[in-house]
Amino acid sequence: MTDFIVNPFLEVAEVSVGQHFYWQLGGYEVHGQVLLTSWIVLGIIFVLCFLGNSNLKSTPDGFQNFTELVTEFIRDLAKTQIGEEEYLKWVPFLGTLFLFILVANWSGALLPWRLIELPNGELAAPTNDINTTVALALLTSISYFYAGIRKKGLGYFKRYVEPAVFLLPINVLEDFSKPLSLSFRLFGNILADELVVGVLVALVPLIVPIPVMLLGVFTSAIQALVFATLAGAYIGEAIEDHH
């Protein structure tokens, strides 16, 4: 009876999209292509940060202008969503989320991953894998729980019975739905974009896919902005005072 109940859940957990390149680590299988592309994305971010901050000047010029523009954008985003009192503490977290998702999404839209042959499986943007988007969503959930408990202590959990006790199940369900919506929204949009471009390239390899690829670059940036904005909004909601 137990096997009958558990097996359907195991089958759902094993559903995957595309071909995967696995690494064996101990008794576990790890999606190697996700780690490879994630390291490449982190390397790109590191190089860009190094170029923009290796020779700081009091009057910025060149690439330093770009990095300071990005920093100010993230600071404004955090300030708007979290509030003036707490936002500076969360700028590094929101900035890391935004930059990783943005560069990861753009890598899928601009880099010809599929030209690189693997023994099995294929390369794609890290955010094209549900494991990556779920991990980012869970980090966001942990962060806003941490923010709320850090500021309010155990009194943070009073929010589940406000404004009425009978709303407890709905408020709990809301916290479970947040990481689900974050992860599936990002995963679904990036997967759909790469599938559309792949089909168009196969059918009409010249000219036609280019506008779709440019649209993919735009939507990829929007997805990164939406994810970081919602993460900031959830943190701001967790620490705000309810009267």
Beta bridge partners of residue 22, listed in sequence order: 31
Specify whether the CB–CB gap between 111 and 128 falls below 8 A.
no
CB-based contact 95:71 (threshold 8 Å): yes
For residue 227, pLDDT beyond 90 = yes
DSSP string, 216-241: HHHHHHHHHHHHHHHHHHHHHHHHSP
pLDDT tens per residue, range 26-36:
777 777 778 88
Element (H, E) at 107: helix 87-110
pLDDT number for residue 143: 93
pLDDT at residue 80 in the model:
93
Residue 30 carries which DSSP code? E
Predicted confidence (pLDDT) at residue 202 exceeds the cutoff of 80: no
Model confidence pLDDT, tens digit, residues 93-103: 999 999 999 99
Cβ neighbors of 231 (< 8 A, separation 6 or more) are 93, 94, 97, 140, 143, 144, 182
CB atoms within 10 A of CB 72: 10
Give the pLDDT confidence of 138-178 residue by residue, as tens digits.
999 999 999 889 888 888 888 887 777 777 888 888 888 88
- Could you give the CA distance from residue 4 to residue 12 in angstroms, rounded to a whole number? 13
- Which pLDDT score, from 0 to 100, does residue 206 have? 67
| Cβ–Cβ < 8 Å for 232, 90 | yes
| Residue 214 main-chain phi, psi, to 5 deg | -65, -40
Cis previous bond, 163, omega within 30: yes
* pLDDT value for 101: 94
Q: Can you tell me the distance from the alpha carbon of 198 to that of 113, in angstroms, rounded to the nearest whole number?
A: 11
**Is 90 exceeded by the pLDDT of residue 74?**
yes
Q: Helix, strand or coil for residue 16?
A: coil
- Is residue 116 pLDDT above 80, yes or no? no
pLDDT at 176: 83
Mean predicted lDDT score pLDDT of the chain? 81
Given this model, what pLDDT does residue 209 score? 64
**Ranges 72-76, 141-145, 174-178, 192-196: which has the least confidence:** 192-196
Range in 6-20, 26-40, 114-128, 221-235 the model is least confident about? 6-20
Q: Which amino acid is at 198?
A: G
Checking if the pLDDT of 192 tops 90, the result is no
| pLDDT at residue 129 is higher than 90 | no
**What whole-number percentage of the chain has pLDDT above 90?**
26
Q: What is the pLDDT of residue 9?
A: 39
- pTM, 2 dp: 0.83
Q: What is the mean pLDDT of residues 210-229?
A: 85
